[in-house]
Amino acid sequence: MAMAPQTASDILLLTAPAFGIIANVTAQFLLVRAARLKLLTSIVGGFFVGALLTAALMSIAFVESPTTALDALALAIVVMVIYNAAGFSHFCFVNLGETSLRIRILQMVMEAPQGLDLSEILDAYNDQHLIAIRLRRIADNGQARLSNGIFYPRRSLLFAASTILELLKRPLYGRPRQASGYRG
């Protein structure tokens, strides 16, 4: 059984997710650097820019080489799943660089050619200091409301993501574990 030669529309469908992720990364970089948006906002914005480009390229491919509605739907789903996987990988990569304590400690050590002893590293990264930084970011980013020293939930993208992750974890882990001292 001989395979049909690839057409320009086939190649466009194959490369649409790659062009989409390139647009995603570029837009995210421009949004965080040039537009000075917050990191999470720039990641979401970049993701949507890439998704729009991927959808536009798919549309061009479908116009250039008309196909049945069912085939077009199946191809569109596959292409978008691939783009979404690439977009999620980009998010994980950026998140790793921003939140990984090991990476930040290694950067700190690399910036100190004379070396650092354990007490210097622990002074920079003690638990209370890290928690205070995270809590300040949560309040500054509007992800929770701080009133009279008490944090209250606020609807936000991160809150929605947290809720979705919690719902996904329940089938795997059962009831959620509560942090010690939690009054809720």
pLDDT at 96: 76
Residues 19 and 92 in one domain: yes
- Res. 70: pLDDT tops 70: yes
Under the banding of pLDDT at 50, 70 and 90, the label for residue 177 is low
Average pLDDT, the chain: 84
Residue with tokens 């995270």: 134
One-letter amino acid of 86: A
Of 76, 99, 122, the residue that ends a domain is: 99
Q: Does some domain include residue 183?
A: no
pLDDT at 86: 95
| CA-based nearest residue to 20, from 63, 71, 58, 67 | 58
Burial class (CB in 10 A: 0-12, 13-18, 19+), 46: buried
Token couple for 10? 């086939």
Domain containing 126 equals 103-173
Of 65, 99, 133, the residue that ends a domain is: 99
Of 99, 133, 152, the residue that ends a domain is: 99
Residues 120 and 160 in one domain: yes
How many angstroms separate the Cα of 20 from the Cα of each of 8, 51, 126, 170? 17, 6, 40, 33
For the entire predicted model, the pTM comes to 0.61
Residues 110 and 153 in one domain: yes
| Averaged pLDDT for residues 34-45 | 89
Alpha-carbon dihedral sign for residues 154, 87, 26, 78: negative
Residues 14 and 67 in one domain: yes
Q: Does some domain include residue 179?
A: no
Q: Does some domain include residue 46?
A: yes
Residues 38 and 15 in one domain: yes
Residues 67 and 124 in one domain: no
Residues 155 and 169 in one domain: yes
Number of structural domains found in the chain: 2
Residues 90 and 117 in one domain: no
